[in-house]
Amino acid sequence: MKENIIDSMLLDLDGTLVDTASEMHLALNVLLNEEELELQPYEAVRSHVSNGVMGIFDTIFEDSPKINGRRFNRYLDIYEEHLGINAQVFPGMNEVINSIEYRGIPWGIVTNKSKRFAVPLLEKLKLFDRASCVVCGDTTTEKKPHPEPINHALSLLNIQNTKRSFYIGDSKKDIDAAKSAGISSIACTFGYIKEDDDPKEWYADYLIDQPSEMLKILNNLI
C-alpha cells in the first residue's frame, strides 16, 4: 500500500455523514401539534437543518423564539426523545468511512451540534467509537464558521501539516471554517442545501454530488 498523503479526514455530522432531517422534522411537528399550530411538510424543514434548531424556527415561527426560550427548550426535549429513531448514515458514506479506515487515515467529526445530541446519536449509529475525535458545538468556545473547532480536532489528532487534512461539509460555514483553519475543503451537495444557495460559490477545493465521489478523491490522492 502506498504511503498516505492524507493525514486526516474530518466530517460535518448533519447533512454530511448522517441524515437527521426526518427526526428534526418529526420533533417540530410534535411541538406544533402541542401548540395547536399547523403541521409542516418535510420539504419545509429539510434545507434548514444545517442551521440547527434556530434555522428551522426562523422559517416556521414569526416570533423567532430566542435560544433557551420555552419553545426552544421544549423542542430540544422532544428531539432528544426521538434521537436516533430515523436517522441514517447517508447511502455510500459507510463505504467512505470503511475506505478511510482501511487506509489507516484517522477521521473525526466536527459539528455545531451539541454534545447532548451528537454523542448519543453517533453511539446509536455505532460510529462514536470508530471516530478518532468528536468535536461538538459546545466543545470549544467558538462554533463554525470559526476555525477553532477544526483546529481543536487537528490538535486532538496531533496533526502538524494542515494542508494534508480535509474537511467535508454541506454548508458555506463548513467550507469557510476549513479555509480559515488552512485545510482542504470538500463541499457536498447531497446534504441540506437551500434552493437559493449555490455550493459552487463557496469555492471549496472539491465539490461532490454523492458520497461515491469521495472514494474517487481518495483514490486519486493516495
- Residues annotated as catalytic are 12
Alpha carbon distance 119, 136 (integer Å): 8
DSSP state for residue 14 in the 8-state scheme: B
Cα separation of 52 and 193, whole Å? Answer: 13
Q: Is the peptide bond before 149 cis (omega within 30 degrees of 0)?
A: no
193, 199, 202, 208: CA torsion to nearest 10: 110
Helices (DSSP H) in 14-147: which residue ranges?
21-34, 43-46, 52-60, 70-81, 93-102, 115-124
Q: How many residues does the chain have?
A: 222
Q: Which helix (H) or strand (E) holds 41?
A: none
3 Ramachandran zone, left/alpha/beta (phi>0; psi -120 to 50) = beta
Do the beta carbons of residue 206 and residue 186 sit within 8 Å? yes
- Here the cell at position 18 is 448522517
